[in-house]
Copies of this chain bind each other. A is one copy, B any other.
Amino acid sequence: MKILILGGAGMVGQKVANYLIENGLDDREISELILYDVVDAKVSQSSFPVKVLSGNIADPEQSKVLANLEADVIFHLAAIVSGEAEKDFDKGWDINSKGGWNLLEALREKHVSSGEKYIPRLVFASSIAVFGGPFPNKIDDDFLCAPKTSYGAQKAMVELLVSDYSRKGYIDGLSVRLPTICVRPGKPNLAASSFFSGIIREPLNGVEAILPVSDDVRHWHASPRSAAKFFAHAATLDTSLLDGRRSLNLPGVSCTVAEQIEALGKVAGEDAVKLIKRVPDQDIISIVDNWPRNFDPARAIELGFTAESNFEEIIKVYLEDDFEG
């Protein structure tokens, strides 16, 4: 089985790659793993071949190159983040939407030219940003997508395409709506959600962190380790169980910023907590104000997806998997 990760150099792409290298994919033999991104992806030592490819998914010609790889499983995580998509309208739609559409078109051509034999499993990294307020207390599996960011609209659009191309049998795809992934290792990024990780990661590393929103902001989180497991599980899921609804809200932890900070205090003490500096940022407040706070992801849970059950666990996953201090 050949596996292709688009966005393979990104944080979650790397987590998926390393998960596959360490755990395989159920009982399927992995013959090759290909990591594709705009920059060269890092590669860990592996018992099966891992190849690195670079290119820009916004270039339609690249889609053909990718389809010609005839991967059995494609994880599509290539995207620019929410903050950047909001600032650069063209870039967001080009990469986050047209990039995905071009890929699906190239896969359909491959499907046709293979005599309809080639039907790859495609797992699309969607986001809870497909939802926009006002929200119920818990978002259930029947709640509408009314995104209030370009990023959310771009993700929702590709979800529609993944569903329709799958319904037609050109691919066998599904979209997983990731919670905010927390605690992200490394440096802050342009995502408006970056601070949710920053206020934990920076203090754990003895560094000051900026909190741009109020303590009562509630949000929906899962660890990078859970993200990798989501993708691996989605890659082997029996999609006939989805009954045509190929976008899934995934499990996660709902907590307020205050509860995040309380968990940080429990794990790392009050000195860590004191490193959090409150500097309200109206742009981020406005974006986050339109983000979901809590979910009842009944379908995904029934389908076997799992995540952490409280924020302390999420911090502990960071300490186990990514902390270098």
Contacts and interface: CB of A to CB of B under 8 A. Distances in A.
A313 interface: no
A187 interface: no
Contact of A164 (B142, B153, B243): B153
Interface stretch (A155-163, A219-227, A251-259): A155-163
A30 B318 CA distance: 63
B142 A143 contact: yes
A75 B151 CA distance: 27
Contact of A167 (B144, B148, B160): B148
A144 B147 contact: no
Contact of A144 (B132, B142, B150): B142
Contact of A157 (B147, B160, B167): B160
Interface in A283-321: none
Interface in A123-158: 132, 134, 136, 141-148, 150, 153, 156-157
A323 interface: no
A147 B132 contact: no
Identical chains in the assembly: 2
Interface string A162-175: 01100110000000
B168 A150 contact: yes
A148 B245 CA distance: 9
A106 to B, nearest CB: 14
Give the interface residue-count category, chain A.
20 to 34
Nearest to A150: B164
Nearest to A162: B153
Given A156-B160, A157-B157, A160-B156, A143 B144 contact: yes
Contacts of A134: 243
B164 A160 contact: no
Given A160-B157, A163-B146, A168 B89 contact: yes
A111 to B, nearest CB: 12
Nearest to A245: B146
Q: Which of A136, A145, A164, A167 has the most CB of B within 10 A?
A: A164
A206 interface: no
A146 B147 CA distance: 15
Given A145-B160, A153-B160, 13 more contacts: A132-B245, A134-B243, A136-B142, A142-B142, A142-B144, A143-B144, A146-B163, A146-B245, A146-B247, A147-B160, A147-B163, A147-B164, A157-B161
6 contacts: A144-B144, A147-B160, A148-B167, A150-B164, A153-B160, A153-B164
